[in-house]
Amino acid sequence: MKSVSTWALSFFSDELSRRAVSDCYLWTTAISLLLILLLHIFFSTKFRFFTSAPSSSSSTDSFLVNSQSRISKLVSDEDLKFLIENLEEETNDSTEIWEHVIHKSNDRISYSAKRCKPKDGGSPMKYLSVTVFEGFSAEIVRDFYMDNDYRKLWDKTVVEHEQLHVDSNTGIEIGRTIKKFPLLTSREYVLAWRLWQGKDKKFYCFTKECDHNMVPQQRKYVRVSYFRSGWRIRQVPGRNACEIKMFHQENAGLNVEMAKLAFSKGIWSYVCKMENALCKYIATSHRTQGPILSAVTLMKEVPSELETGTDNVTGSMETSSGEGVLSHVVAAKQKKKMRKPSTKLIAKGLVLVGGAICLSRGPSALGAKVALAYLLTKLNKRGTSLNQTTQNTTI
């Protein structure tokens, strides 16, 4: 009996030893495979690291070579010609109908703007505006407009800006700007711009969208796909004042009606804020800051064939504003001749009045006001269409 027990214990002891050895071999094999895998990953990563550096350098060189060959075409003298024709309103397009937007002023600044929807239907809304700053020179206003670092301090929509490239031969500068708007995804602008100086201290700038391999598109931003904007800055003849006339077209992926309301409701407040920032710009001596090389320091001369004489731009804008006011008066008289509205129209009218009061009172955010104004506009359009339908039925 004892021998059987001894044999059994010996058997189980040998079995446990064999299993322990087997488990040991399994663990050794697993650890060896893991070490081999880690070594493989390490050496492959190390190889990619050392071989990727020349690739990155060649990519940068590729951009520089390509940019040198095509950068002169990004913003050319043809763009300047396009800008001057639009500023002078010499496009000779009789089908364009300009709509008055705003005309406001105080003792320090005046602002007028109008807009036009291109007939092709695919292009963004055109804006033409004139701003007059009292007591400032053209050079100061030019430097203020082009100081993107200072803009981040006073323009709360600009949350980020960086200079990407400057071409010393053409004077073209490329940069990236991130703008944040209420209730909307942030917009990303990758733009190229160029400046020219004309006679009598007139300055021109034209900006358009472009691509750059250092800033690939990101999902968290909406890349602005179409951007055409330019201005002319000059001294007002016979006055200590500076005038800037601007042409602007932009497709930022916004609803057209929403963009129109945002501009109408917020532009005057923005212009007044800009004038305050301009005063502080001089007081704090920001003009000495900024990149050494920029479109301002590399400014080119306006070609002689594009030079134009002095024109009364401000007067033409004011005339346009007067025509806009007259059209509103005529429209108001026509509305008085309309038949008595229905009960639904009266109810909607009360909602519109209440909305207008809400828009005109309280320190509400601009985004909320624009959203409410947009809804009221849509409601007003429905009421107008319903009224026209009732009239047609009666006739």
Distance CA 133, CA 166 (A): 30
User: What residues in the chain have per-residue pLDDT under 50?
Assistant: 1-13, 15-16, 21, 43-65, 310, 313-316, 318-376, 379, 382-395
Partner residues linked to 170 by β-bridges: none
Partner residues linked to 52 by β-bridges: none
- Tell me which DSSP letter residue 361 carries: S
Q: Check: pTM over 0.75? Answer yes or no.
A: no
The model's pLDDT over 282-338, given as tens digits with 9 standing for 90+, comes to: 888 655 555 688 999 999 999 989 986 545 544 445 434 444 433 443 344 444 444
Half-sphere exposure of 133 (CA within 13 A, CB side): 25
How much is the pLDDT for 377?
52
How much is the pLDDT for 29?
62
How much is the pLDDT for 354?
43
How much is the pLDDT for 286?
58
CA-closest candidate to residue 141, choices 59, 240, 264: 240
Q: Going by CATH, does the domain composed of 68-304 fall within 3.30.530.20?
A: yes
Contact by Cβ (8 Å): 278, 144: yes
How much is the pLDDT for 41?
54
CA-closest candidate to residue 278, choices 132, 163, 101: 132
Distance CA 379, CA 383 (A): 6
CA-closest candidate to residue 227, choices 242, 248, 254: 248
How much is the pLDDT for 47?
36
Q: φ, ψ for residue 303 (rounded to 5)?
A: -55, 140
Per-residue tokens: 49: 């690291």
| Distance set, CA 70 to CA 58, 76, 172, 206, 379 (Å) | 18, 11, 11, 17, 49
The model's pLDDT over 212-241, given as tens digits with 9 standing for 90+, comes to: 989 999 999 999 999 999 999 999 999 999
How much is the pLDDT for 317?
55
How much is the pLDDT for 290?
59
Q: φ, ψ for residue 58 (rounded to 5)?
A: -65, -30
Angle between helices 138-146 and 256-283 (to 10 degrees): 120
| Distance set, CA 230 to CA 136, 209, 248, 272, 389 (Å) | 20, 12, 7, 20, 43
Half-sphere exposure of 302 (CA within 13 A, CB side): 21
Instruction: Specify the pairing of strand 173-179 against strand 241-251.
Output: unpaired
The DSSP secondary structure of 121-163, one letter per residue, reads SSSPPEEEEEEEEET--HHHHHHHHH-HHHHHHH-TTEEEEEE
